[in-house]
A = this chain, B = another copy of it.
Amino acid sequence: MYDSDSFNSLKTHASRMNTPEFHLKHLIKDPCRLTDFSLNIPGFFYDFSRQRLDNSVRQTLNTLAGETRAKEMFVQMAAGNPVNPTEKRAALHTAARGFLDSGLKPENTQILSDIRTVARNIRIFSQDVHKGRITGTRKKKFTDAVIVGIGGSYLGCEFVYKALKPGRHPKINLHFLSNVDIDNFGQILTRIEPDTCLWIIVSKSYTTTETMANLTQVQAFLNRHHLNPEDHLVTITAKGSPGDDPSNPVRASFYMFDFIGGRYSVSSAVGGVPLSLAFGYDTFEQFLIGCAQMDRHAFQAPVQENIPLTAALISIWNIQILKYSAQAIIPYSSALSKLPPHVQQVYMESLGKSVDIHGTPLPCPAGSIVFGEPGTNAQHSFFQLAHQGPAFPVEFIGVLKPGYTGDQVTSKGVFNHQELWANLIAQTQALAKGRDHEDPARSFSGNRPSSLVVIPDLTPESVGLLLSFYEARTVFEGFMLNINPFDQFGVELGKILASGIRRQMAEKNAGTPSGGTPPDPVTAFYLKALFNGRID
Protein backbone atom coordinates (compact mmCIF):
# COMPACT_ATOMS: atom_id res chain seq x y z
CA MET A 1 0.00 0.00 0.00
CA TYR A 2 2.69 2.46 1.07
CA ASP A 3 4.32 2.63 -2.37
CA SER A 4 1.11 2.67 -4.41
CA ASP A 5 0.15 5.61 -6.60
CA SER A 6 -3.08 6.13 -4.74
CA PHE A 7 -1.30 6.22 -1.38
CA ASN A 8 1.04 8.90 -2.71
CA SER A 9 -1.87 10.71 -4.21
CA LEU A 10 -3.56 10.74 -0.79
CA LYS A 11 -0.54 12.54 0.64
CA THR A 12 -1.02 15.25 -1.93
CA HIS A 13 -4.69 15.44 -1.06
CA ALA A 14 -3.70 15.83 2.59
CA SER A 15 -1.68 18.96 1.85
CA ARG A 16 -4.74 20.39 0.17
CA MET A 17 -7.08 19.39 3.00
CA ASN A 18 -4.70 21.02 5.47
CA THR A 19 -5.26 24.45 3.93
CA PRO A 20 -7.76 26.84 5.54
CA GLU A 21 -10.25 26.62 2.64
CA PHE A 22 -10.84 22.97 3.45
CA HIS A 23 -11.64 23.55 7.11
CA LEU A 24 -14.64 21.41 8.05
CA LYS A 25 -16.70 24.50 8.77
CA HIS A 26 -16.63 25.19 5.03
CA LEU A 27 -17.03 21.60 3.85
CA ILE A 28 -20.18 21.00 5.88
CA LYS A 29 -21.91 24.03 4.34
CA ASP A 30 -22.51 22.09 1.14
CA PRO A 31 -26.27 21.26 1.24
CA CYS A 32 -25.55 17.82 -0.25
CA ARG A 33 -22.82 17.07 2.26
CA LEU A 34 -24.83 14.66 4.41
CA THR A 35 -26.37 12.87 1.44
CA ASP A 36 -23.05 12.55 -0.34
CA PHE A 37 -21.08 11.48 2.70
CA SER A 38 -23.35 9.00 4.43
CA LEU A 39 -24.27 5.39 3.80
CA ASN A 40 -27.30 3.48 4.91
CA ILE A 41 -28.52 -0.08 5.15
CA PRO A 42 -31.64 -1.13 7.03
CA GLY A 43 -30.87 -0.67 10.71
CA PHE A 44 -27.49 1.01 10.27
CA PHE A 45 -26.71 4.58 9.23
CA TYR A 46 -23.14 5.81 8.81
CA ASP A 47 -22.60 9.58 8.58
CA PHE A 48 -19.04 10.56 7.71
CA SER A 49 -19.91 14.06 6.49
CA ARG A 50 -17.78 15.59 9.24
CA GLN A 51 -14.66 13.72 8.21
CA ARG A 52 -11.95 15.86 6.62
CA LEU A 53 -12.38 14.64 3.09
CA ASP A 54 -14.03 15.57 -0.18
CA ASN A 55 -15.05 13.66 -3.29
CA SER A 56 -11.52 13.53 -4.67
CA VAL A 57 -10.16 12.09 -1.47
CA ARG A 58 -12.96 9.59 -1.37
CA GLN A 59 -12.39 8.48 -4.94
CA THR A 60 -8.71 7.96 -4.27
CA LEU A 61 -9.51 6.01 -1.11
CA ASN A 62 -11.89 3.82 -3.09
CA THR A 63 -9.16 3.23 -5.65
CA LEU A 64 -6.87 2.20 -2.81
CA ALA A 65 -9.48 -0.29 -1.65
CA GLY A 66 -9.55 -1.77 -5.15
CA GLU A 67 -5.76 -1.90 -5.49
CA THR A 68 -5.31 -3.60 -2.14
CA ARG A 69 -7.99 -6.14 -3.03
CA ALA A 70 -9.70 -5.66 0.31
CA LYS A 71 -13.01 -7.10 -0.81
CA GLU A 72 -11.43 -10.09 -2.51
CA MET A 73 -9.54 -10.80 0.69
CA PHE A 74 -12.80 -10.59 2.63
CA VAL A 75 -14.36 -13.15 0.27
CA GLN A 76 -11.35 -15.42 0.66
CA MET A 77 -11.60 -15.06 4.41
CA ALA A 78 -15.26 -16.03 4.44
CA ALA A 79 -14.57 -18.99 2.15
CA GLY A 80 -12.11 -20.39 4.66
CA ASN A 81 -8.80 -19.68 2.94
CA PRO A 82 -5.85 -19.40 5.36
CA VAL A 83 -5.87 -15.59 5.61
CA ASN A 84 -3.97 -15.93 8.90
CA PRO A 85 -0.71 -17.17 7.35
CA THR A 86 1.58 -16.86 10.39
CA GLU A 87 -0.64 -19.25 12.30
CA LYS A 88 -1.58 -21.16 9.12
CA ARG A 89 -5.28 -20.79 9.84
CA ALA A 90 -8.51 -19.61 8.37
CA ALA A 91 -10.41 -16.75 10.05
CA LEU A 92 -14.00 -17.82 9.98
CA HIS A 93 -15.88 -15.71 12.48
CA THR A 94 -18.36 -15.02 9.67
CA ALA A 95 -19.10 -18.75 9.58
CA ALA A 96 -20.28 -18.57 13.20
CA ARG A 97 -23.38 -16.87 11.82
CA GLY A 98 -23.01 -18.33 8.33
CA PHE A 99 -25.66 -20.94 8.96
CA LEU A 100 -28.06 -18.01 8.88
CA ASP A 101 -28.65 -16.07 5.72
CA SER A 102 -25.37 -14.18 5.38
CA GLY A 103 -24.54 -15.51 1.94
CA LEU A 104 -21.08 -16.20 3.30
CA LYS A 105 -20.40 -19.89 3.60
CA PRO A 106 -17.04 -21.57 3.99
CA GLU A 107 -16.14 -23.98 1.19
CA ASN A 108 -15.68 -26.82 3.66
CA THR A 109 -19.28 -27.76 4.42
CA GLN A 110 -18.26 -29.73 7.51
CA ILE A 111 -17.53 -26.41 9.22
CA LEU A 112 -21.11 -25.14 9.06
CA SER A 113 -22.36 -28.49 10.20
CA ASP A 114 -20.03 -28.41 13.25
CA ILE A 115 -21.13 -24.89 14.06
CA ARG A 116 -24.77 -25.90 13.75
CA THR A 117 -24.19 -28.72 16.20
CA VAL A 118 -22.67 -26.36 18.76
CA ALA A 119 -25.59 -23.93 18.29
CA ARG A 120 -28.09 -26.73 18.83
CA ASN A 121 -26.26 -27.83 21.99
CA ILE A 122 -26.32 -24.26 23.28
CA ARG A 123 -30.04 -24.03 22.65
CA ILE A 124 -30.80 -27.28 24.45
CA PHE A 125 -28.48 -26.57 27.36
CA SER A 126 -29.77 -23.04 27.99
CA GLN A 127 -33.39 -24.21 27.79
CA ASP A 128 -32.64 -26.99 30.26
CA VAL A 129 -31.06 -24.52 32.66
CA HIS A 130 -33.97 -22.08 32.36
CA LYS A 131 -36.56 -24.80 32.86
CA GLY A 132 -34.70 -26.12 35.90
CA ARG A 133 -33.99 -29.47 34.24
CA ILE A 134 -30.34 -28.77 34.87
CA THR A 135 -29.61 -27.61 38.42
CA GLY A 136 -26.68 -27.43 40.83
CA THR A 137 -25.58 -30.09 43.28
CA ARG A 138 -28.26 -29.06 45.77
CA LYS A 139 -30.96 -29.15 43.06
CA LYS A 140 -31.47 -25.40 43.10
CA LYS A 141 -32.11 -23.50 39.87
CA PHE A 142 -29.18 -21.49 38.58
CA THR A 143 -29.51 -17.72 38.95
CA ASP A 144 -25.99 -16.57 38.11
CA ALA A 145 -23.16 -17.53 35.79
CA VAL A 146 -19.56 -16.39 36.06
CA ILE A 147 -17.59 -16.28 32.82
CA VAL A 148 -14.00 -17.22 33.64
CA GLY A 149 -11.98 -15.97 30.70
CA ILE A 150 -9.72 -13.11 29.68
CA GLY A 151 -9.33 -10.85 26.63
CA GLY A 152 -11.37 -12.09 23.71
CA SER A 153 -12.92 -14.73 25.94
CA TYR A 154 -15.03 -12.13 27.70
CA LEU A 155 -14.74 -8.55 26.33
CA GLY A 156 -17.16 -8.99 23.44
CA CYS A 157 -19.61 -11.02 25.50
CA GLU A 158 -19.56 -8.38 28.23
CA PHE A 159 -20.29 -5.69 25.65
CA VAL A 160 -23.29 -7.55 24.21
CA TYR A 161 -24.60 -8.54 27.65
CA LYS A 162 -24.60 -4.92 28.88
CA ALA A 163 -26.03 -3.69 25.59
CA LEU A 164 -29.01 -6.04 25.73
CA LYS A 165 -29.70 -5.82 29.45
CA PRO A 166 -31.70 -2.55 29.56
CA GLY A 167 -34.27 -3.97 27.15
CA ARG A 168 -34.85 -7.32 28.87
CA HIS A 169 -34.60 -8.88 32.29
CA PRO A 170 -31.80 -11.50 32.39
CA LYS A 171 -32.92 -15.04 33.21
CA ILE A 172 -29.40 -15.64 34.52
CA ASN A 173 -27.14 -12.80 35.68
CA LEU A 174 -23.66 -12.82 34.17
CA HIS A 175 -20.43 -11.90 35.97
CA PHE A 176 -16.96 -11.73 34.47
CA LEU A 177 -13.89 -13.17 36.18
CA SER A 178 -11.12 -12.12 33.84
CA ASN A 179 -8.22 -10.70 35.84
CA VAL A 180 -5.88 -13.06 37.66
CA ASP A 181 -6.04 -10.50 40.49
CA ILE A 182 -7.58 -12.30 43.46
CA ASP A 183 -9.62 -9.16 44.20
CA ASN A 184 -11.55 -9.81 40.99
CA PHE A 185 -12.45 -13.25 42.37
CA GLY A 186 -13.18 -11.82 45.83
CA GLN A 187 -15.60 -9.23 44.46
CA ILE A 188 -17.48 -11.83 42.44
CA LEU A 189 -17.99 -13.97 45.55
CA THR A 190 -19.88 -11.04 47.10
CA ARG A 191 -22.39 -11.14 44.23
CA ILE A 192 -23.23 -14.83 43.86
CA GLU A 193 -24.59 -17.71 45.94
CA PRO A 194 -22.55 -20.92 45.75
CA ASP A 195 -25.55 -23.21 45.22
CA THR A 196 -27.07 -21.30 42.31
CA CYS A 197 -23.97 -20.31 40.36
CA LEU A 198 -22.61 -21.82 37.16
CA TRP A 199 -18.94 -21.24 36.31
CA ILE A 200 -18.18 -21.07 32.61
CA ILE A 201 -14.51 -21.59 31.82
CA VAL A 202 -13.57 -20.08 28.45
CA SER A 203 -10.17 -20.91 26.99
CA LYS A 204 -9.47 -22.40 23.59
CA SER A 205 -6.25 -24.11 24.68
CA TYR A 206 -7.41 -24.52 28.28
CA THR A 207 -3.90 -23.43 29.28
CA THR A 208 -4.36 -19.62 29.53
CA THR A 209 -2.47 -18.84 32.74
CA GLU A 210 -4.97 -16.38 34.24
CA THR A 211 -7.98 -18.55 33.42
CA MET A 212 -6.36 -21.68 34.81
CA ALA A 213 -5.34 -19.83 38.00
CA ASN A 214 -8.91 -18.62 38.43
CA LEU A 215 -10.27 -22.09 37.67
CA THR A 216 -8.10 -23.38 40.53
CA GLN A 217 -9.73 -20.84 42.85
CA VAL A 218 -13.17 -21.85 41.59
CA GLN A 219 -12.48 -25.54 42.15
CA ALA A 220 -11.31 -24.86 45.71
CA PHE A 221 -14.41 -22.72 46.27
CA LEU A 222 -16.74 -25.48 45.01
CA ASN A 223 -14.88 -27.96 47.18
CA ARG A 224 -15.24 -25.81 50.30
CA HIS A 225 -18.96 -25.61 49.63
CA HIS A 226 -19.24 -29.34 48.88
CA LEU A 227 -20.46 -28.71 45.35
CA ASN A 228 -19.53 -31.00 42.48
CA PRO A 229 -17.59 -29.55 39.54
CA GLU A 230 -19.61 -31.82 37.24
CA ASP A 231 -22.72 -29.91 38.35
CA HIS A 232 -21.33 -26.36 38.41
CA LEU A 233 -18.62 -26.15 35.77
CA VAL A 234 -19.10 -25.58 32.05
CA THR A 235 -16.26 -25.39 29.58
CA ILE A 236 -15.97 -23.63 26.26
CA THR A 237 -12.79 -24.91 24.72
CA ALA A 238 -11.19 -26.63 21.73
CA LYS A 239 -11.98 -30.28 21.05
CA GLY A 240 -9.40 -32.42 22.78
CA SER A 241 -8.08 -29.67 25.07
CA PRO A 242 -7.59 -30.44 28.78
CA GLY A 243 -11.01 -28.86 29.28
CA ASP A 244 -12.55 -31.51 27.02
CA ASP A 245 -11.34 -34.46 29.05
CA PRO A 246 -13.99 -37.04 30.07
CA SER A 247 -11.91 -37.96 33.11
CA ASN A 248 -12.64 -34.47 34.45
CA PRO A 249 -16.39 -34.38 33.94
CA VAL A 250 -18.16 -31.04 33.76
CA ARG A 251 -21.81 -30.03 33.45
CA ALA A 252 -21.45 -29.30 29.74
CA SER A 253 -18.74 -28.59 27.22
CA PHE A 254 -18.98 -26.53 24.05
CA TYR A 255 -16.43 -26.40 21.27
CA MET A 256 -14.37 -23.49 20.05
CA PHE A 257 -12.66 -23.82 16.69
CA ASP A 258 -9.12 -22.82 15.82
CA PHE A 259 -10.43 -20.86 12.83
CA ILE A 260 -12.09 -18.28 15.10
CA GLY A 261 -9.69 -16.06 17.03
CA GLY A 262 -10.50 -14.84 20.53
CA ARG A 263 -11.23 -11.21 19.69
CA TYR A 264 -13.58 -12.27 16.85
CA SER A 265 -15.32 -14.97 18.87
CA VAL A 266 -18.41 -13.25 20.28
CA SER A 267 -20.75 -14.90 17.81
CA SER A 268 -19.30 -18.36 18.53
CA ALA A 269 -19.96 -20.43 21.66
CA VAL A 270 -17.84 -17.89 23.58
CA GLY A 271 -20.72 -15.42 23.39
CA GLY A 272 -23.39 -17.97 22.59
CA VAL A 273 -23.39 -19.95 25.82
CA PRO A 274 -23.39 -16.99 28.26
CA LEU A 275 -25.76 -14.84 26.21
CA SER A 276 -28.20 -17.71 25.69
CA LEU A 277 -28.15 -18.39 29.42
CA ALA A 278 -28.76 -14.71 30.10
CA PHE A 279 -31.46 -13.97 27.57
CA GLY A 280 -32.43 -17.25 25.90
CA TYR A 281 -31.03 -18.78 22.72
CA ASP A 282 -33.56 -16.98 20.51
CA THR A 283 -32.17 -13.63 21.57
CA PHE A 284 -28.68 -14.84 20.78
CA GLU A 285 -29.85 -16.00 17.36
CA GLN A 286 -31.41 -12.59 16.66
CA PHE A 287 -28.02 -11.11 17.50
CA LEU A 288 -26.42 -13.50 14.99
CA ILE A 289 -28.95 -12.39 12.37
CA GLY A 290 -27.77 -8.81 12.90
CA CYS A 291 -24.14 -9.90 12.51
CA ALA A 292 -25.03 -11.82 9.35
CA GLN A 293 -26.77 -8.79 7.85
CA MET A 294 -23.62 -6.70 8.18
CA ASP A 295 -21.48 -9.58 6.87
CA ARG A 296 -23.66 -9.84 3.78
CA HIS A 297 -23.41 -6.12 3.22
CA ALA A 298 -19.62 -6.14 3.67
CA PHE A 299 -19.43 -9.01 1.21
CA GLN A 300 -21.84 -7.75 -1.41
CA ALA A 301 -21.82 -3.95 -1.44
CA PRO A 302 -19.52 -2.25 -3.93
CA VAL A 303 -16.64 -0.28 -2.44
CA GLN A 304 -18.34 3.10 -2.66
CA GLU A 305 -21.44 1.83 -0.83
CA ASN A 306 -19.67 -0.48 1.58
CA ILE A 307 -20.02 0.84 5.13
CA PRO A 308 -17.30 -1.07 7.02
CA LEU A 309 -14.91 -0.72 4.08
CA THR A 310 -15.55 3.02 3.89
CA ALA A 311 -14.98 3.28 7.64
CA ALA A 312 -11.71 1.37 7.26
CA LEU A 313 -10.61 3.71 4.45
CA ILE A 314 -11.41 6.72 6.62
CA SER A 315 -9.37 5.20 9.40
CA ILE A 316 -6.42 4.77 7.04
CA TRP A 317 -6.88 8.34 5.86
CA ASN A 318 -6.95 9.68 9.42
CA ILE A 319 -4.14 7.55 10.86
CA GLN A 320 -1.74 6.94 7.99
CA ILE A 321 -2.20 10.16 6.04
CA LEU A 322 -3.50 12.89 8.34
CA LYS A 323 -1.38 11.36 11.15
CA TYR A 324 -3.88 11.38 13.96
CA SER A 325 -2.48 9.08 16.61
CA ALA A 326 -5.64 7.92 18.34
CA GLN A 327 -9.35 7.57 17.81
CA ALA A 328 -12.17 7.78 20.28
CA ILE A 329 -15.39 5.76 20.27
CA ILE A 330 -18.12 7.61 22.10
CA PRO A 331 -21.47 5.82 22.28
CA TYR A 332 -24.27 8.10 23.45
CA SER A 333 -25.77 5.16 25.29
CA SER A 334 -24.84 3.77 28.71
CA ALA A 335 -25.86 0.36 27.47
CA LEU A 336 -22.98 0.52 25.00
CA SER A 337 -20.43 1.42 27.68
CA LYS A 338 -18.42 -1.74 27.01
CA LEU A 339 -18.24 -1.18 23.26
CA PRO A 340 -15.07 0.98 23.51
CA PRO A 341 -13.08 -1.64 25.48
CA HIS A 342 -14.25 -4.35 23.10
CA VAL A 343 -13.29 -2.38 19.99
CA GLN A 344 -10.08 -1.34 21.73
CA GLN A 345 -9.11 -4.99 21.79
CA VAL A 346 -10.40 -5.91 18.34
CA TYR A 347 -8.69 -2.94 16.74
CA MET A 348 -5.46 -2.55 18.69
CA GLU A 349 -4.66 -6.25 18.89
CA SER A 350 -5.51 -6.79 15.22
CA LEU A 351 -3.75 -3.78 13.75
CA GLY A 352 -0.97 -2.89 16.20
CA LYS A 353 1.70 -4.56 14.09
CA SER A 354 5.20 -3.78 12.92
CA VAL A 355 5.49 -6.23 10.02
CA ASP A 356 3.43 -6.90 6.92
CA ILE A 357 1.87 -10.20 5.97
CA HIS A 358 5.18 -11.41 4.56
CA GLY A 359 7.06 -10.54 7.74
CA THR A 360 8.67 -7.48 6.22
CA PRO A 361 8.99 -4.55 8.65
CA LEU A 362 6.52 -1.74 7.90
CA PRO A 363 7.79 1.81 7.22
CA CYS A 364 6.21 2.69 10.56
CA PRO A 365 4.17 0.53 12.96
CA ALA A 366 0.47 0.24 12.11
CA GLY A 367 -2.58 0.76 14.29
CA SER A 368 -3.62 3.48 16.65
CA ILE A 369 -4.95 3.85 20.14
CA VAL A 370 -8.71 3.40 20.53
CA PHE A 371 -10.33 4.66 23.70
CA GLY A 372 -13.67 6.00 24.81
CA GLU A 373 -16.39 6.42 27.38
CA PRO A 374 -20.12 6.95 26.87
CA GLY A 375 -21.50 10.41 26.19
CA THR A 376 -22.59 12.63 27.82
CA ASN A 377 -20.15 11.40 30.49
CA ALA A 378 -17.18 11.97 28.21
CA GLN A 379 -18.22 15.62 27.73
CA HIS A 380 -17.70 16.14 31.46
CA SER A 381 -14.42 14.26 31.45
CA PHE A 382 -11.96 14.49 28.57
CA PHE A 383 -13.85 16.49 25.94
CA GLN A 384 -12.04 19.63 27.08
CA LEU A 385 -8.99 18.15 25.36
CA ALA A 386 -11.05 16.92 22.41
CA HIS A 387 -12.12 20.52 21.72
CA GLN A 388 -9.05 22.53 22.67
CA GLY A 389 -6.16 20.09 23.03
CA PRO A 390 -4.41 18.00 20.36
CA ALA A 391 -7.07 16.80 17.91
CA PHE A 392 -8.17 13.19 17.43
CA PRO A 393 -11.01 11.72 15.36
CA VAL A 394 -14.14 10.63 17.19
CA GLU A 395 -16.69 8.03 16.24
CA PHE A 396 -20.01 8.86 17.83
CA ILE A 397 -22.75 6.28 18.15
CA GLY A 398 -26.38 7.25 18.55
CA VAL A 399 -29.33 4.98 19.38
CA LEU A 400 -32.73 6.28 18.31
CA LYS A 401 -34.72 4.42 20.99
CA PRO A 402 -33.44 3.65 24.48
CA GLY A 403 -33.91 0.27 26.19
CA TYR A 404 -35.72 1.67 29.24
CA THR A 405 -39.44 2.05 28.73
CA GLY A 406 -40.59 2.94 32.24
CA ASP A 407 -42.23 6.19 33.31
CA GLN A 408 -40.32 9.31 32.42
CA VAL A 409 -40.73 13.03 32.86
CA THR A 410 -39.33 16.00 30.99
CA SER A 411 -36.72 18.48 32.14
CA LYS A 412 -36.33 21.78 30.28
CA GLY A 413 -39.14 20.53 28.03
CA VAL A 414 -37.33 17.40 26.81
CA PHE A 415 -37.06 13.76 27.84
CA ASN A 416 -33.70 12.47 29.01
CA HIS A 417 -33.18 10.55 25.81
CA GLN A 418 -33.79 13.74 23.82
CA GLU A 419 -31.33 15.62 26.02
CA LEU A 420 -28.80 12.92 25.20
CA TRP A 421 -29.40 13.45 21.49
CA ALA A 422 -29.29 17.24 21.75
CA ASN A 423 -25.81 16.84 23.17
CA LEU A 424 -24.76 14.24 20.63
CA ILE A 425 -25.75 16.41 17.68
CA ALA A 426 -24.19 19.47 19.31
CA GLN A 427 -20.84 17.77 19.90
CA THR A 428 -20.46 16.67 16.28
CA GLN A 429 -21.12 20.26 15.19
CA ALA A 430 -18.89 21.90 17.79
CA LEU A 431 -15.91 19.72 16.88
CA ALA A 432 -16.33 20.41 13.17
CA LYS A 433 -17.18 24.10 13.19
CA GLY A 434 -15.26 25.52 16.11
CA ARG A 435 -15.81 29.12 17.06
CA ASP A 436 -13.83 32.30 16.84
CA HIS A 437 -13.92 34.42 19.97
CA GLU A 438 -12.08 37.56 20.97
CA ASP A 439 -10.89 35.69 24.06
CA PRO A 440 -8.52 32.96 22.82
CA ALA A 441 -9.38 30.84 25.87
CA ARG A 442 -12.96 30.74 24.55
CA SER A 443 -11.94 30.08 20.95
CA PHE A 444 -12.30 26.70 19.31
CA SER A 445 -10.16 25.83 16.32
CA GLY A 446 -12.70 23.28 15.09
CA ASN A 447 -11.83 21.15 12.04
CA ARG A 448 -11.88 18.08 14.29
CA PRO A 449 -13.20 15.07 12.40
CA SER A 450 -15.95 12.78 13.58
CA SER A 451 -18.32 10.15 12.25
CA LEU A 452 -21.77 9.31 13.54
CA VAL A 453 -23.12 5.77 13.50
CA VAL A 454 -26.86 5.54 14.14
CA ILE A 455 -28.71 2.36 15.07
CA PRO A 456 -32.46 2.38 15.68
CA ASP A 457 -32.51 0.60 19.04
CA LEU A 458 -30.80 -1.83 21.39
CA THR A 459 -32.40 -4.96 19.95
CA PRO A 460 -30.14 -7.98 19.47
CA GLU A 461 -30.18 -7.41 15.69
CA SER A 462 -28.94 -3.83 16.07
CA VAL A 463 -26.21 -4.85 18.50
CA GLY A 464 -25.22 -7.62 16.09
CA LEU A 465 -24.94 -5.11 13.24
CA LEU A 466 -22.70 -2.95 15.42
CA LEU A 467 -20.44 -5.78 16.49
CA SER A 468 -20.05 -7.13 12.98
CA PHE A 469 -19.43 -3.61 11.62
CA TYR A 470 -16.36 -3.25 13.86
CA GLU A 471 -15.13 -6.72 12.99
CA ALA A 472 -15.46 -6.14 9.25
CA ARG A 473 -13.97 -2.67 9.44
CA THR A 474 -10.95 -3.99 11.32
CA VAL A 475 -10.22 -6.86 8.97
CA PHE A 476 -10.69 -4.59 5.94
CA GLU A 477 -8.19 -2.18 7.42
CA GLY A 478 -5.76 -5.03 8.13
CA PHE A 479 -6.09 -6.33 4.56
CA MET A 480 -5.45 -2.88 3.10
CA LEU A 481 -2.45 -2.30 5.38
CA ASN A 482 -1.26 -5.72 4.18
CA ILE A 483 -0.82 -6.95 7.74
CA ASN A 484 -2.22 -10.02 9.48
CA PRO A 485 -5.16 -8.87 11.61
CA PHE A 486 -5.51 -12.32 13.19
CA ASP A 487 -2.24 -13.03 14.99
CA GLN A 488 -0.78 -11.46 18.16
CA PHE A 489 2.88 -12.31 18.55
CA GLY A 490 3.35 -9.05 20.44
CA VAL A 491 2.02 -10.65 23.61
CA GLU A 492 4.60 -13.45 23.63
CA LEU A 493 7.66 -11.75 25.11
CA GLY A 494 5.84 -10.70 28.27
CA LYS A 495 4.57 -14.26 28.75
CA ILE A 496 8.07 -15.70 28.44
CA LEU A 497 9.55 -13.23 30.92
CA ALA A 498 6.63 -13.77 33.32
CA SER A 499 7.21 -17.51 33.37
CA GLY A 500 10.83 -17.01 34.51
CA ILE A 501 9.66 -14.73 37.32
CA ARG A 502 6.87 -17.11 38.28
CA ARG A 503 9.45 -19.89 38.63
CA GLN A 504 11.47 -17.74 41.04
CA MET A 505 8.33 -17.11 43.09
CA ALA A 506 7.30 -20.76 43.10
CA GLU A 507 10.74 -21.77 44.35
CA LYS A 508 10.54 -19.16 47.07
CA ASN A 509 7.06 -20.42 48.04
CA ALA A 510 8.28 -24.00 48.14
CA GLY A 511 11.40 -23.04 50.08
CA THR A 512 13.50 -24.96 47.58
CA PRO A 513 16.82 -23.40 46.59
CA SER A 514 16.80 -22.16 43.03
CA GLY A 515 18.65 -24.42 40.66
CA GLY A 516 18.52 -21.82 37.90
CA THR A 517 20.01 -18.37 37.49
CA PRO A 518 19.09 -15.90 40.23
CA PRO A 519 16.79 -13.07 39.21
CA ASP A 520 18.30 -9.83 37.98
CA PRO A 521 18.66 -7.19 40.75
CA VAL A 522 15.51 -5.27 39.79
CA THR A 523 13.35 -8.39 39.75
CA ALA A 524 14.96 -9.45 43.03
CA PHE A 525 14.09 -6.06 44.50
CA TYR A 526 10.42 -6.39 43.57
CA LEU A 527 10.21 -10.03 44.64
CA LYS A 528 11.55 -9.06 48.06
CA ALA A 529 9.01 -6.21 48.32
CA LEU A 530 6.18 -8.55 47.33
CA PHE A 531 7.15 -11.30 49.77
CA ASN A 532 7.76 -8.81 52.59
CA GLY A 533 4.66 -6.75 51.80
CA ARG A 534 6.70 -3.56 51.94
CA ILE A 535 9.45 -1.61 50.21
CA ASP A 536 12.40 -1.14 52.56
Contact = CB atoms under 8 A, between A and B. Distances in A.
20 contacts: A151-B381, A166-B183, A166-B186, A180-B423, A183-B333, A220-B409, A345-B380, A353-B388, A354-B440, A359-B441, A364-B390, A383-B491, A387-B494, A388-B490, A398-B526, A400-B534, A410-B509, A413-B510, A414-B502, A427-B498
A426 to B, nearest CB: 4
A374 interface: yes
- Name, among A385, A402, A417, A430, the residue most crowded by chain B CB atoms within 10 Å (CB to CB): A385
Contacts of A458: 183
B422 A501 contact: yes
Interface stretch (A124-132, A293-301, A365-373, A472-480): A365-373
A437 B131 CA distance: 55
A525 B452 CA distance: 13
Interface string A399-414: 0111110111111111
Nearest to A360: B440
A522 B34 contact: yes
A404 B348 contact: no
A1 interface: no
A349 B381 contact: yes
Nearest to A319: B390
Given A382-B344, A526-B425, A533-B400, A352 B388 contact: yes
B40 A535 contact: yes
A438 to B, nearest CB: 10
Given A325-B325, A365-B388, A426-B498, 10 more contacts: A45-B529, A180-B376, A180-B423, A210-B376, A351-B389, A367-B389, A379-B491, A387-B490, A410-B506, A454-B529
Contact of A423 (B155, B375, B400, B494): B494
B179 A535 contact: no
Contacts of A220: 407-409
A369 to B, nearest CB: 5
A501 B152 CA distance: 40
A498 B423 contact: yes
Contacts of A325: 325-326, 390
A441 B499 CA distance: 21
Interface string A238-265: 0000000000000000000000001000
- Please give the count of copies of this chain that the complex contains: 2
B415 A491 contact: no
Interface in A482-529: 484, 487-503, 505-507, 509-510, 521-523, 525-526, 529
A183 B415 contact: no
Interface stretch (A63-71, A113-121, A211-219): A211-219
Q: Assign chain A's interface to a size class.
A: 35 or more
Given A351-B389, A381-B345, A422 B498 contact: yes
- Name, among A33, A381, A407, the residue most crowded by chain B CB atoms within 10 Å (CB to CB): A381
Contacts of A454: 526, 529, 535
The 4 A-B pairs with the shortest beta carbon distances in the complex, nearest first, are A352-B385, A151-B380, A413-B506, A352-B389
A445 interface: yes
Given A382-B344, A440-B360, A31 B427 contact: no
A190 to B, nearest CB: 8
A456 B381 CA distance: 29
Contacts of A490: 383-389, 444
Interface string A26-66: 00100101100000100001000100000000000000000
A416 B217 contact: yes
Contacts of A426: 494-498, 500-501
A256 to B, nearest CB: 15
Contact of A31 (B377, B491, B501, B521): B521
- Name, among A411, A494, A501, the residue most crowded by chain B CB atoms within 10 Å (CB to CB): A494
Contacts of A333: 181, 183
A182 B388 CA distance: 29
A359 B442 CA distance: 9
Contacts of A341: 373, 381
Contacts of A371: 369, 371
A389 B355 CA distance: 10
A408 to B, nearest CB: 6
A384 B416 contact: no
A419 interface: yes
A361 B34 CA distance: 33
A332 interface: yes
Contact of A209 (B219, B412, B427, B495): B412
A492 B383 CA distance: 10
Contacts of A510: 413
A354 B389 contact: yes
A337 B365 CA distance: 29
Interface string A427-458: 10110001100011111110000000010111
